[in-house]
């Protein structure tokens, strides 16, 4: 896996730039990843990201937008407002977890 520097940290990423090591993520890395894709983080963004990370640890796979709505309590419409166009992909990228299954 390639290694790159994000927010002054050396991290492992895949071909698409997603982190491959869960423990290499921190909020500075998340903020830098968000900035890379034009997302300005707010407290609500962080709530979603923290849910995604906690859920990944519990479930062993990345939550889909449906799960973020049902379990995380963030309506799909709001997910699209916070993370425009491809919310599942953008949320997982920022959270440092793999893309959800079925995500292009």
DSSP run (H or E) holding 85:
none
Q: Catalytic residue among 14, 90, 103, 104, which?
A: 103
100 in active site = no
Alpha helices in the chain (DSSP H): 27-36, 43-59, 65-70, 76-82, 87-95
CA–CA separation, 7 and 10 (whole Å): 9
Tell me which residues are annotated as active site.
103
């Amino acid at each position: 896996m390639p290694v790159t520097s994000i927010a002054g940290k050396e991290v492992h990423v895949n071909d698409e730039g997603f982190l491959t090591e869960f423990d290499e993520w921190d909020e500075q890395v998340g903020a830098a990843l968000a900035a890379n894709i034009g997302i300005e983080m707010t407290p609500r963004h962080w709530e979603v990201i923290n849910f995604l990370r906690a859920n990944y640890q519990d479930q062993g796979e990345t939550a889909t937008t449906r799960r973020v709505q049902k379990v995380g309590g963030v309506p799909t419409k709001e997910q699209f407002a916070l993370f425009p166009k491809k919310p599942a992909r953008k949320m997982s990228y920022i959270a440092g977890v793999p893309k959800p299954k079925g995500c292009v």
